[in-house]
Amino acid sequence: MSGGVLPGGWFDADGRLHRDFELAVLTGREEELLTQARHPRPAALVTEVLSRCVRRIGEVSPVPPEVARKLLVADRLHLLLQLRQATFGDRVRATLVCPWPGCGAQVSLEFSLADVPVQAATLPGRWHTMTLHDGREVVFRLVTGADQEELATLAEENEGAALTALLTRCVRRLGDDEQPGEDTVAALPARARAEIEERMREVSPSVAQTMDARCTECGRAFTVPFDVQRFFLGELRTDGARLYQEIHYLAYHYHWSETEIMAMTRDKRQRYIDVLADAIGALNDAG
């Protein structure tokens, strides 16, 4: 079990902030869930994984899907990074191509997840208040996993409409207008909209989703996008074939049930497989 403190935190119905957390590592069951065919809504998959693996947030334990869903985006990313760290370790390795014109050399990038910059919320609160340049007051909340889940399909079809819908979901009051509708938000002047988005960024906790790299060939620096959610889901998905191979191997040699094997972590499966490989190797040597 590992733990930490959320960069944002979760507010319950009484307005109390829950911020420290404990999580368990992924078992074969979660790996299987993640290896299932292309999920149409990755945010929904993240909700499911988090509600299974996060054991406690503040005084909330277990963590039901509706809480995992309503966590701030940065909190969800932070938990995914912690989960990856606890289950598979801290190092990330990648090979990329230097983007500088005239170079294009292959560069290996290696970094530690502990070094991914995390910005904690400076003013934790469920609601934030600001004043626009025209004097109107705006009350808003920050973007959660629930927003991502709800707007995933629209975002693919029409990004502009998805952004307006997102803002409508997050803005609770606009001047005298309680619960402004989508038409009101869509009609906001560009300047007002930019002001709200800017303020949202300022008060929002964040997990950096870019890494700095330097080309070993030409020596120039560049920035690499590091999409935490895609990285986490992609890394596990590619291992689907291996998961089933390991289950088969352990079931065949130890006669354990699939349920028993699926409850193990990848580390534990690996240790049993190593022991088996050693034993089989010794048998072969003796023969």
Give the binding site for Zn ion (CB under 5 A).
98, 100, 103, 105, 215, 217-218
CB of 173 to Zn ion, least distance (A): 50
Could you tell me which residues come within 8 angstroms of residue 33 by beta carbon, excluding any fewer than 6 positions away? Answer: 45, 48, 49, 52
Specify the residue, 98 or 247, whose C-beta has the smaller distance to Zn ion.
98
Instruction: Give the angle subtended at the CA of 62 by the CAs of 243 and 151, to the nearest 5°.
Output: 75
Specify the residue, 105 or 275, whose C-beta has the smaller distance to Zn ion.
105
152: helix, coil or strand?
helix
CB of 217 to Zn ion, least distance (A): 5
Q: Which amino acid is at 131?
A: T
Distance CA(54)–CA(75), nearest Å, equals 12
CB of 103 to Zn ion, least distance (A): 3
146 burial type by CB count under 10 A (0-12 exposed, 13-18 middle, 19+ buried): middle
Specify the residue, 131 or 216, whose C-beta has the smaller distance to Zn ion.
216
Could you tell me which residues come within 8 angstroms of residue 220 by beta carbon, excluding any fewer than 6 positions away? Answer: 98, 100, 103, 214
Q: Which amino acid is at 24?
A: A
Specify the residue, 91 or 220, whose C-beta has the smaller distance to Zn ion.
220
CB of 78 to Zn ion, least distance (A): 32
Specify the residue, 222 or 226, whose C-beta has the smaller distance to Zn ion.
222
Specify the residue, 106 or 238, whose C-beta has the smaller distance to Zn ion.
106
Contacts 24+ apart (CB under 8 A), 256-259: none
Question: Side by side, which strands form the sheet with 171-174?
Answer: 128-131, 137-140, 171-174, 177-178
CB of 214 to Zn ion, least distance (A): 9
- Whether 179 contacts 186, CB under 8 Å: no
CB of 231 to Zn ion, least distance (A): 23
